[in-house]
Amino acid sequence: MPILYTIAVTFLSISVLIGLPSVTNLIQTKVEASNIPNNKVLTQNEFQPPIEIIKPIPIPKNQGIPAPLIYASAVVVKDLATNTLLFGQGENQRVPIASTTKIMTALVAVEHFRPNDVLIVPENIFTITGSSMGLKPGEQLSFRSVLYGMLLNSGNDAAYTIAQNYPGGFNVFVQAMNKKAISLGLINTHFTNPAGFDDVNHYSSAEDLAKIASLAIENSQLARVVSTKETSVASLDKTTIHSLKNLNKLLDEPGVLGIKTGTTPAARENLVGLVERDGHKILTVVLGSNDRFGETDKLFNWVYSNFVWK
């Protein structure tokens, strides 16, 4: 009997030991917790991520203060966070846009060129009239330097230098501008040059230009450039220094961050503006004005006195 008893106990012990690994594995790798949503089973080293609380974006509420009288032919005022149109006037009308064209020029250019890429000024640059950063034929500069000259001084020579250095040259660059417009769904926009010279086939609308500008200021490089009041850049050989000053006079006003001016006989005065006050960014487009800075400033002040964000 003792021998049979010993054999039975030994057999039972071996059976338990064989079964232990699976039981132990179950204990170590899975746990059922009553405080986990839906009684989810968590495996080893897994944890429940914290619930992210998303705060709603405040919506601008109109307080009923009438908008100022604006004589510009086309106007858009938008709350950037919600893309809410706060004021519009002829916003879908096709109009000449002068050097505000250079916002699209910059947008297309930064998608190809890197800041330190070397650009060579075309030999025929002296034929490009209008506003200039003072480039010389054959001069070599970084793309970054030329970009500043185009967006601060509104240099037509800078815009043409960018286009000429683009793969395929001037015509391919303008095609890229129009392809970009099509990809953005801008049905009232077409370009024939990168600087904004008057042409019957060169036009946009206040609404389309607002979309172009909204996209441009999302680029950190462009946002930094258009908010710069003044700077200087040099040719690669350091023999030529270009002093640059932003033509946007409203940069001296509180919260103004950009972005581009424009003036031609057909387009008259134009300004795409960006301002941030109390954490709320407002984008304005004023086209065909006789007082672009004054009318834009009126719109800035009206927005922040009339709208509250809730």
pLDDT tens by residue, 263-280 = 999 999 999 999 999 999
Instruction: Say how far apart CA 260 and CA 280 lie, in whole Å.
Output: 20
pTM, rounded to two decimals: 0.83
Q: Is residue 51 part of a domain?
A: no
Between residues 55 and 22, which one has the greater pLDDT?
A: 55
Look at residue 50 and tell me if it is in a domain.
no
Please classify residue 4 by burial: count the beta carbons closer than 10 Å to its beta carbon, then call 0-12 exposed, 13-18 middle and 19+ buried.
exposed
Statement to judge: residues 12 and 105 lie in one domain: no
The pLDDT of residue 56: 86
Question: Does 75 map to a domain?
Answer: yes
What integer is the mean pLDDT of 117-139? 97
Instruction: Please answer whether residues 129 and 156 qualify as being in contact, where contact means their C-beta atoms are separated by less than 8 angstroms.
Output: yes
Considering its fold, how many domains does the chain have in total?
2
Residue 101 has pLDDT above 80, yes or no: yes
Distance (Å, rounded) from C-alpha 50 to C-alpha 246?
Answer: 47
Which stretch of 44-48, 55-59, 102-106 has the lowest confidence by average pLDDT?
44-48
One-letter amino acid identity for 299? L
Is 53 a member of any domain?
A: no
Regarding whether 19 and 167 lie in a shared domain, the answer is no
Give the CATH number, domain containing residue 130: 3.40.710.10
pLDDT digits (tens, 9 = 90+) for 219-228: 999 999 999 9
Dig out the tokens for 273 from the structure.
Answer: 């503006």
pLDDT at 80 over 70: yes
Indicate whether 21 and 104 sit together in one domain: no
* Pair (180, 33) in one structural domain: no
Per residue in 177-216, pLDDT (tens digit) is 999 999 999 999 999 999 999 999 999 999 999 999 999 9
Element (H, E) at 43: strand 42-43
Residue 181 sits in the same domain as residue 238? yes
Evaluate whether residue 54 is within a structural domain: no
56 is a domain residue: no
Find out whether 273 and 284 touch, Cβ atoms under 8 Å.
Answer: yes
Mean pLDDT of all residues in 142-154: 98
Quote the CA–CA distance of 302 and 64 in Å, as a whole number. 11
Q: 182: domain range?
A: 61-309
Q: What is the pLDDT of residues 4-17, one digit of tens each?
A: 444 444 544 544 44
> Tell me, what's the pLDDT at 176?
98
- Asked if residue 66 and residue 36 are part of one domain, the reply reads no
